[in-house]
Amino acid sequence: MEQKYLKILGIILVPIVVYLLSFGMVVFHYPSYEKLISKYSADKTTAELQTKNIISYFQGSEELRGFTKPEADHLKDVRFLIWTLLIVLVFLIILLFKIYDYEAIVLGGIISLILPLILYIIPFEILFDVFHRIFFPQGNWMFDYNSVLIQMYPFQFFYDFFKNILFRGFILGLVITILFLKDSIKNKIYFPLQQN
Number of domains in the chain: 1
* Tens digit of each residue's pLDDT (9 = 90 or more) over 108-143: 999 999 999 999 899 999 999 999 999 998 888 889
Query: In the prediction, which pLDDT does 58 show?
Result: 96
Total residues found in the chain within this entry: 196
The separation between the first and the last C-alpha atoms of the chain, rounded to the nearest angstrom, is 29
Question: How many Å apart are CA 58 and CA 28, to the nearest integer?
Answer: 8
| 147 close to 47: Cβ distance less than 8 angstroms | no
- Nearest-angstrom CA–CA distance, 44 and 38: 6
Write the burial class of residue 150 (CB in 10 Å: 0-12 exposed, 13-18 middle, 19+ buried).
middle
Domain of residue 184: give its range. 2-195
Query: pLDDT tens, 10-54?
Result: 999 999 999 999 999 999 999 999 999 999 999 899 999 999 999
Would you say 37 and 107 are in contact if contact means Cβ atoms under 8 Å apart?
no
